[in-house]
Amino acid sequence: MTSDSVVLVRGAPGTGKSTLARQLMLHWGRGATVEVDDLRGMINQIDWTSHQQHFDGIRAAVLVCKHYLACKYRPIVLVDTFGYGSLEIATEELDDIPYTIVSLTGSNTTLRWRLIRRLVGYRDWRNAQKFNEHIRQTLGEHDLDFDTSKTSAKTIANRIVEQLEPDD
């Protein structure tokens, strides 16, 4: 991994994006995790269904990433669902900053089970399943993709680290 890298972690709600980000930071230490929803939540009278507010949150998150990079925090893990055009916004806003896309999916049964168990946050498992299918259909050629219903976040984090930091 180059010293300026950003890891974009995307997937449907319930696929384990935040859990994976925590595992990656356990390995990498000094970097930073930026969650788009944390920044979106700062908008007064947020409309969680607004595409424009989502896109604004992504742009704000990328600016935060750029600031952390300028302050020598590396790597940055940027977390969002990144679907339906929002991945393109993030990658365009990153300009020439190198990035890796990690796409997470899960079985419909696993997503349903995880979201029903949540006490707070997003719980619409039917919509999450649709989004999960969208992620599968839009996997890029160079995406690192993982099915989180079959593999633990720790194992996935180890595989990502192995791929981004190959032995010299």
Residue 53 is predicted with a pLDDT of: 94
Report how far apart, in Å, the C-alpha atoms of 19 and of each of 142, 152, 157 are.
22, 10, 10
**Percent above pLDDT 70 for the chain:** 96
> Which tokens is 13 given?
């709600």
Residue 38 has pLDDT above 70, yes or no: yes
Confidence of residue 4 (pLDDT cuts 50, 70, 90): low
Question: Which residue in this structure is represented by tokens 């990433």?
Answer: 65
Confidence of residue 120 (pLDDT cuts 50, 70, 90): confident
- This prediction has a pTM of 0.94
Bridge partners (DSSP) of residue 79 are: 9, 35
- Give the DSSP letter of residue 116: H
List pLDDT tens digits, range 122-138. Answer: 889 999 999 999 999 99
Residue 121 is predicted with a pLDDT of: 81
Residues 75 and 1: beta-carbon distance below 8 Å = yes
Tell me, letter by letter, the H, E, C secondary structure of 18-60: HHHHHHHHHHHCCCEEEEHHHHHCCCCCCCCCCHHHHHHHHHH
Q: For 94-124, where are the alpha helices, taking DSSP H only?
A: 108-117
Three-state SS for 145?
A: strand
Cα–chain center distance at 11: 7
Residue 66 is predicted with a pLDDT of: 97
